[in-house]
Structure formats: structure tokens, C-alpha cells
Structure 1
Amino acid sequence: MTIHSTDPFAVPDKDKSPVRRFRGRLAAPVTLWTTPGPAGLTVSSILVADGDPGRVLGLIDEESDFWDAVAESRRFAVTPLTPADRQLADRFAGLMPAPGGLFATGEWQQTAYGPIPAHAGTWLGCRLDSDRPCGWALLTESIIESVQVGGAAAPLAHFRGRYAELH
């Protein structure tokens, strides 16, 4: 077995569109979206908008098990991940094996919006409002119905195809 220092499946820069290369130069938060079912997906294409009500916009792969489950339940939880959650992020992104299923390891707290990692102090409960095709994904717009804000843990970020820590 060979351990790679880079993603062996990554598309080389020269083969990426200019838009994708530009997007890769923007740091993005790494979040976990989960829904009753349960199903989940690592999402870094996310925008949270304050307002009355607050909203979450996200780009979701319409071929994912998560999308199938959230399209049915119409609700989901969003949990920001920390540097300690790298393996969790990889598992839900499909980059790491998940024997027994995505939720088979770790401790989970059940919520009306889907399971969240038991250690998560900060998360949102959302209701899907609309979706439409947008580039390679579905642009989803959701209403924030519940907000839990815990301690200010350092976020896990995604930058140039790798995880980065902000201090």
C-alpha cells in the first residue's frame, strides 16, 4: 500500500477550467450536512445569510444519497467541522471507507433535523425551501429554523484541494 501526500484522483490544474482554478484559490468552510434517514454529505460550497428568517445556500450533488434523503425529509442539520474532524469530513465526502455505513463510527446526537456529531456544540437546523440546477450541482436555499452556538472552535477550511487550519 502506498500513502500519497496528495490526492491521486485530483484533476491536474492544467485540465481544470479557469473558473474552477479561481474557486480553488478561495478558502471555504468545511461543514457536515445530515438529514433524517440518516444520510450525510461534506459540503464546503455554503453561504449563511442573516435575516428574518436566516437562510443557508449550498451547492449539493444531486446524485448523492444525501440529496435523495433531504428531498424527501425537507430538513437537515449543518455542523461546522474542526481540524479534529478531518477523517469525518473525508468519510462523508466519500474519500475514506465507511465500513458499516457513514454513521457506524463516532457518537451521534439525534435531532429533528438529522444526527449531528455528539461533540458538536454549534449547528443549524434547516428546512429546504427551494432548489435549482447551478453548474455541476443543485443550488439549494433553506430556511434556518434552529441555531445552536457553542464555543468558538477553530474551523476546518478547504483551500487548493487540501484542508487548512485557521488559528
Structure 2
Amino acid sequence: LGGAVTLWSAGSGPDRVGLTVSSLVVALGEPSHVIGLLDPDADLTESLRDTGRAVVQVLAWSDRALGEAFAGTAPAPGGPFRMADFEDTPWGPRLVTAGTWAGVELVDEREVGWSAEVTCRVAHLEVADDPASGALGHRRGRWLPLVHRGHPLGSDA
């Protein structure tokens, strides 16, 4: 199964951490929640546990290299946060170009297989004018531009 690729980030200053995540679900409601499957040993998961907060941002097709770097599958000299501009928020670092993002707060965690299933309450949400425009997808180990109305999204798709 494929899905949109998100970047989860937490911490601040030299303690910023991030992880590329495509295994997640948004549960609408009052309040809404994001449920994600994270690597239980990842620095991001540890920071989320410690601070109780993170930023979940939807990556664009043009962010493929950034997605690879935060997934740990491509080199990032100086670290992946040096590959793009980020701004600090109360929930953690936000990719400046991410039009759709949420500030989330950890509500619950449990072990599911080899993953940590985290349930986070959406405390803040910003949605781009066209939230699917240019979205980065992941399926069967490959990046792909998500399709809307039969047309690939993204300027270089």
C-alpha cells in the first residue's frame, strides 16, 4: 500500500531530530488525531516521548532528497536539517516550504509488531490551498508523485 510521505520533526537547536514516515492515519474529530507507526529506536521517537510534541508535515515531490536523508537512506553532510530551511515552532522544527503541517501532542503509545504506534492530538493545523498539490508518495520502496484527477502532481513529475 502506498501513502503520502510526511516528515515528523521534534526538538530545537542542536537537539532537532526528524524521521520520514508514510505509515500514518489522520483521524478526524474534535480534536483530530494523527496515528503513526514509528521506529521505536529512532531519535525522533525518543524526542517525542521526552517532549510530548512534534511537527508532522507533508513532503512535496520536490522534497525527495530530503525524504531520503531523514529516512537515513541517503547521505546528508552536516545532517538533514542543513538541506532545507526550517523554522522553530512550539512543537518542533517546521520545513519552511511545507504548506500543510500539524503541531501534535503525544496522547498514547503502544508496541505494534516492530513499531511504536503513537497517537497524537492535533494541537495546531495549517493546510495549503491545494493540500495534495505536489505531494510526495511512497509505494513498494519507491517515491512517486501523487496523482490528482489523472495528472501527476509536482513541477518535475
* TM-score in terms of structure 2 length: 0.87
- Aligned partners of 1:34, 1:155: CA distance in 2, in Å? 18
Cα-to-partner distance string for 1:31-62 (whole Å, 9 max, x where unaligned): 00001131100000000010011000000001
Aligned to 2:122: 144
Alignment match, 2:81: 103
> What residue in structure 2 maps to residue 61 of structure 1?
39
CA distance in 1, matches of 2:129, 2:68: 24
Equivalent pair of 2:19/2:70 in contact (CA under 8 Å): yes
Q: Is 1:127 the counterpart of 2:114 in the alignment?
A: no
- 1:3-82 equivalences in 2 (<5 Å): 26-36=1-11, 37-82=15-60
Residue by residue over 1:96-122, the C-alpha shift from the partner in whole angstroms, topping out at 9 and shown as x without a partner, is 112212212211121111111111111
* Equivalent AA in structure 1 for residue 142 of structure 2: R
Q: Which has the higher strand share?
A: 2
Query: 2: CA distance between counterparts of 1:160 and 1:60?
Result: 18
Deviation at 1:132, TM superposition (A): 0.5
Structure 1 outlier segments of 4+, above 6 Å = none
Once residues 100 and 45 of structure 1 are traced to their aligned partners in structure 2, the CA distance between those partners, rounded to angstroms, is 27
- Corresponding residue SS for 1:103: helix
Deviation of residue 124 (structure 1)? 0.4
Gaps of 5+ in 1: 1-25
Quick check: which has more Rg, 1 or 2?
1
SS of alignment partner, residue 110 of structure 1: strand
- What CA deviation, in whole Å up to 9, does each residue of 1:65-91 have, x standing for no partner? 111111111000000111100001000
Partner-residue secondary structure (3-state), 2:48: helix
Aligned length: 142
Gaps spanning 5+ residues in structure 2: where?
A: 147-151, 153-157
